[in-house]
Chains A and B, each alone.
Chain A
């Protein structure tokens, strides 16, 4: 595989990884208030994502892959709300350990990385076009 096509492939894998990260962020934000179903049960647990490197055998290029989607083990937020169906015997409700500020910061960062990947992709195409343009006008 020639270097510029490999660059496109790698940048593409970066886009894929960052969009998976955005998906996790949106899951976390959407479930920021999801309590458990039964009384006293655990609510939604915040998800985390990690990236890794992997050799793609078909093209021989080292691409970025989502290496693991895990859960955040920090303790749940506990709020007193006896009327809630998920409240335990003491009237405490466990709320998800999602911090909206952290999620938003993560989203911004994913956005930045996505933009940078797109920029690299654009530029690689430009370089290819520069080479192709050599053929133009020299008939």
Chain B
């Protein structure tokens, strides 16, 4: 039971990291779009701990959860780096820092996955 749960947790973090990478890509691509606010994901916490309630999409016209976990930086006080005259708050430097974080975490995640997979295989082979 436990290895399965572990793989599940690793998978959740991996998909969180991929989504964060997507958000970073969106920020960087919109570095010169007027009025664009920097987006970021809420920090990763495993599902049982967060206990937060989200809204359920009950109709086909409801927006999907693609933007649900995101909030723009200026909602959190003091996080924005700089806002230009056009209302754009993307800072390429901070995005590169975030991208570095994602890379480190992703590589750790992949290594853990590999290690546990190795253990699993060796217990199968005996």
Q: Find the A residue at minimum CB distance from B14.
A: A131
Interface size of A as a range = 35 or more
- For A134, the chain B residues whose CB sits under 8 A away are 110, 113-114, 117
User: In terms of DSSP, what is the predominant structure of the interface of chain B?
Assistant: helix
- For A112, the chain B residues whose CB sits under 8 A away are 92
Interface membership of A31, Cβ < 8 A: no
User: In terms of DSSP, what is the predominant structure of the interface of chain A?
Assistant: helix
- For A2, the chain B residues whose CB sits under 8 A away are 18
Interface membership of A94, Cβ < 8 A: no
Expressed in whole angstroms, the minimum distance between the Cβ of A129 and any Cβ of chain B is 10
Number of B residues contacting the other chain (C-beta, 8 Å)?
33
Interface membership of B72, Cβ < 8 A: no
Interface membership of B107, Cβ < 8 A: yes
Scan residues 1-53 of chain A and give those whose CB is less than 8 A from a CB of chain B: 2-4, 6-8, 10-11, 13-14, 17-18, 21, 50-53
Scan residues 2-50 of chain B and give those whose CB is less than 8 A from a CB of chain A: 14-15, 17-19, 21-22, 24-26, 28-34, 36
Interface membership of A64, Cβ < 8 A: yes
Question: Is the Cβ of A13 less than 8 Å from the Cβ of B99?
Answer: no
Known: A3-B15, A7-B24, A134-B110. A52 touches B33 (CB 8 A): yes
- For B15, the chain A residues whose CB sits under 8 A away are 3
- For B26, the chain A residues whose CB sits under 8 A away are 7, 10, 62
Interface membership of A90, Cβ < 8 A: no
Known: A4-B18, A51-B30, A51-B34. A130 touches B25 (CB 8 A): no
- For A113, the chain B residues whose CB sits under 8 A away are 28, 31-32, 92
Complex Cα spacing A121 to B95, Å: 13
Contact of B29 among A60, A63, A127 (CB under 8 A): A63
Interface membership of A119, Cβ < 8 A: yes
Question: Is the Cβ of B106 less than 8 Å from the Cβ of A130?
Answer: yes
Expressed in whole angstroms, the minimum distance between the Cβ of A136 and any Cβ of chain B is 9
Complex Cα spacing A119 to B92, Å: 11
Expressed in whole angstroms, the minimum distance between the Cβ of B125 and any Cβ of chain A is 11
Interface membership of A104, Cβ < 8 A: no
Q: Can you list 22 A-B pairs, Cβ within 8 angstroms, ordered by A? A: A3-B18, A6-B22, A11-B28, A14-B25, A14-B29, A14-B30, A17-B32, A51-B30, A53-B33, A113-B32, A117-B28, A117-B29, A120-B25, A120-B28, A123-B102, A123-B103, A124-B25, A127-B21, A130-B106, A130-B110, A134-B113, A138-B117
Q: Find the B residue at minimum CB distance from A13.
A: B29
